[in-house]
């Protein structure tokens, strides 16, 4: 079988590792990672909020670190491990951070929750037992227009408890 020849003006496939799976996606390298995740890979956990890197709704993990995918060109994700909300667990076995937000019913419209959950998850991966002050500081730049900050903080604290207790979901390593 011969290899596929792409016209020079056509986007070249870019290999992305997302939630443990490789995807070859034909997109222009400057396309925002968020759009590729949502439009090409149908991963709708990350949300489009401000599109400016300021609200946090689009947060994913890149090599385990929180990153705002609306301002990251997809070419910057080459060779990196991307984890989206879908990669933290399943409906049947949510990850501990997801479980905490479910238990605490920490949503009104829910639009910000992807960013809240992924930001807490990133913190817990580098510091499994943060103080409430550290959680608050980490979430400081995530916006919630509905004002559910009290419940979100309760969920963040609960996530620490669940992780410490060894609760595990069907997550991507
Ligand atoms: S949509 Fe990316 S930070 Fe707001
Ligand atoms: S729950 Fe609506 S924006 Fe946070």
Backbone phi, then psi, for 119, in 5-degree steps?
Answer: -70, -45
Higher pLDDT, 65 or 6: 65
Closest C-alpha residue for ligand 2 atom 4: 144
Closest C-alpha residue for ligand 1 atom 3: 53
Pairwise CA distance, residues 152 & 49, whole Å? 18
Q: Which of 9-23, 99-113, 145-159 has the lowest mean pLDDT?
A: 9-23
The CB of 15 under 6 Å from ligand 2? The reply is no
Domains of the chain: residue spans and CATH: 14-87 (3.10.20.30), 96-167 (1.10.150.120)
Pairwise CA distance, residues 112 & 95, whole Å? 18
Check if the beta carbon of residue 158 is closer than 8 Å to that of residue 104. yes
Note the Cα 128 to chain centre separation in Å.
18
9 — pLDDT class (breaks 50, 70, 90): low
The CB of 56 under 6 Å from ligand 1? The reply is yes
Helix (H, G, I), strand (E, B) or coil at 18: strand
């Amino acid at each position: 079988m011969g290899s596929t020849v792409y016209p020079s003006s056509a986007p070249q496939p870019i290999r992305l590792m997302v939630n443990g799976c490789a995807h070859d996606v034909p997109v222009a390298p400057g396309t925002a990672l968020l759009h590729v995740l949502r439009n090409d890979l149908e991963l709708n956990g990350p949300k489009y909020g401000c599109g400016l890197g300021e609200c946090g709704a689009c947060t994913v993990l890149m090599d385990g670190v929180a990153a705002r995918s609306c301002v990251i060109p997809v070419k910057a994700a080459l060779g990196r491990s991307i984890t989206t909300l879908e990669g933290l667990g399943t409906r049947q076995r949510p990850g501990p951070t997801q479980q905490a937000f479910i238990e605490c019913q920490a949503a009104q419209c829910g639009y910000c929750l992807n960013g809240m959950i992924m930001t807490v998850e990133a913190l817990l991966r580098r510091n499994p037992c943060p103080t409430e002050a550290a959680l608050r500081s980490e979430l400081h730049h995530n916006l919630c227009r509905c004002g559910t900050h009290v419940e979100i903080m309760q969920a963040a604290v609960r996530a620490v408890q669940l992780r410490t207790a060894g609760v595990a979901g069907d997550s991507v390593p």
